[in-house]
């Protein structure tokens, strides 16, 4: 699996477990997380996320190409009595060859493989479940992920607006050899907040975010200390098509670059972000020019110029078990200051029971 920015394989569910026709299985996912953001500027809050996720599911292979998956998502925040969040999960999954169609709970979050300006890593911790429709294609020469996440459903005379987020990621392989792989990456999201049957007086909001870039993977060889070098370059576009603009600008173009080296000891990545105007609904908070800080609502900066240094290590300590550690300092070139975040994560994803085959 190739990733559009950070290598988040430890956080992404594998392909659906192999089941035979009419067979049941119990699948379980568990995530322990500790993430601490030492941020003190007016753009983003500093805080700590410390807790766990548990997702038990029952899978049933209805036919060779169709599967039903049902279970529950549970989130517990340490230091808070009781359960922070619990909601059902249900997926109808059709698979044929390299194609998959899902309705219900999606293969969402970090599995979309969006760059961080478009999708904040912390969404995996605080807003993991997505529900709607998804189409996936995974071939040797290209991959595609297109989805609609229905975030807030409304009924007649609702006091709040409906919310929808749609996205797409298309990555064709331009060149692939034993040592080199070059991939084009097209990513985009559409966020819509509005509706026709609500009684809210809020204006309609429609935001478009689009990213076009390329990834170059250099593989020195399996026996080398240096496992892989990756270079990434993206142009990120924003367009505000709302009927009442919230900002003095309605469009912008930003730049995003990554250089990473994966070694036997871990991965080091350098990232650079530059923008003159960039609001975002689900993108990383540091990348925005619009404040998400609760003490400084409405604060804006004309430009953001950020240099990230990411030190990351994954330990696979079992067939379905990963431990991940990350330290991520960054330098704000405009405000001339250093800040950082760090995290520790334990991921388990696997099949814990499977029924006997019932086929004759």
**Interacting residues of 336 by C-beta distance below 8 A, sequence separation 6+:** none
> Is residue 132 in some structural domain?
yes
Range of the domain at 255: 9-354
Record the tokens describing residue 255, joined without a space. 């730049």
Query: Is 3 within the bounds of a domain?
Result: no
Radius of gyration of the chain from Cα atoms? Answer: 21
Residue 4 counted as domain residue = no
Neighbouring residues of 266: CB distance < 8 A, sequence distance ≥ 6 = 311, 312, 313
Q: Is residue 288 included in any domain, yes or no?
A: yes
Is 350 part of a structural domain of the chain? Answer: yes
CB distance 259 to 269 below 8 Å: yes
Phi, psi of 286 (to 5 degrees): -70, -25
Supply the pTM of this predicted model. 0.93
CB 275 within 8 A of CB 289: yes
Q: Which two tokens stand for residue 282?
A: 């689900």
360 within domain boundaries: no
CATH number at residue 286: 2.40.160.10
pLDDT tens across the length of the chain (360 residues): 556 678 898 898 765 567 889 999 999 999 999 999 999 999 999 999 999 999 999 999 999 999 999 999 999 999 998 899 999 999 999 999 999 999 999 999 999 999 999 999 999 999 999 999 999 999 999 999 999 999 999 999 999 999 999 999 999 999 999 899 999 999 999 999 988 888 888 888 899 999 999 999 999 876 778 889 999 999 999 999 887 777 777 889 999 999 999 998 999 999 999 999 898 889 999 999 988 888 888 888 889 999 999 999 999 998 889 999 999 999 999 999 999 999 999 999 998 999 987 555
Domain count, the chain: 1
Instruction: Specify if 143 maps to a domain.
Output: yes
Q: Is residue 106 part of a domain?
A: yes
DSSP H or E segment with residue 212: strand 205-218
């Amino acid at each position: 699996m190739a990733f559009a920015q950070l290598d988040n394989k430890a956080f992404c569910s594998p392909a659906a477990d192999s089941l035979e026709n009419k067979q049941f299985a119990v699948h379980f996912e568990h995530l322990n997380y500790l993430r601490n953001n030492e941020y003190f500027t007016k753009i983003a809050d500093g805080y700590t996320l410390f807790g766990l996720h548990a997702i038990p599911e029952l899978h049933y292979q209805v036919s060779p190409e169709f599967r039903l998956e049902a279970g529950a998502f549970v989130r517990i925040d340490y230091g808070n009595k009781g359960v922070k969040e619990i909601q059902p999960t249900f997926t109808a999954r059709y698979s044929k060859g390299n194609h998959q169609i899902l309705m219900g709970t999606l293969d969402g979050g970090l599995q979309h493989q969006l760059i961080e300006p478009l999708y904040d890593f912390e969404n995996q911790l605080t807003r993991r479940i997505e529900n709607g429709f998804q189409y996936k294609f995974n071939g040797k020469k290209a991959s595609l992920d297109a989805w609609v996440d229905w975030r807030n459903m409304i009924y007649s005379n609702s006091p709040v607006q409906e919310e929808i987020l749609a996205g797409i990621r298309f990555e064709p392989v331009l060149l692939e050899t034993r040592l080199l792989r070059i991939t084009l990456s097209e990513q985009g999201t559409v966020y819509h907040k509005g509706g026709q049957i609500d009684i809210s007086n809020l204006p309609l909001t429609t935001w478009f975010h689009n990213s076009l870039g390329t990834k170059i993977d250099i593989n020195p060889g399996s026996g080398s200390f240096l496992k892989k070098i990756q270079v990434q370059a993206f142009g990120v576009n924003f367009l505000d098509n709302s009927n009442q603009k919230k900002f003095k600008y309605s469009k912008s173009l930003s730049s995003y670059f990554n250089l990473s080296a994966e070694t036997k000891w871990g991965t080091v990545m350098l990232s650079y972000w530059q923008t003159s105007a960039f609001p975002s609904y689900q993108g990383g908070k540091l990348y925005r020019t619009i404040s998400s800080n609760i003490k400084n609502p409405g604060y804006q900066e004309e430009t953001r110029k950020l240099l990230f240094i990411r030190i990351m290590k994954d330990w696979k300590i079992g067939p379905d078990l990963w431990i991940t550690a990350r330290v991520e300092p960054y330098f704000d070139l405009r405000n001339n200051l250093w800040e950082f975040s760090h995290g520790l994560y334990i991921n388990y994803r696997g099949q814990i029971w499977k029924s006997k085959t019932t086929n004759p």
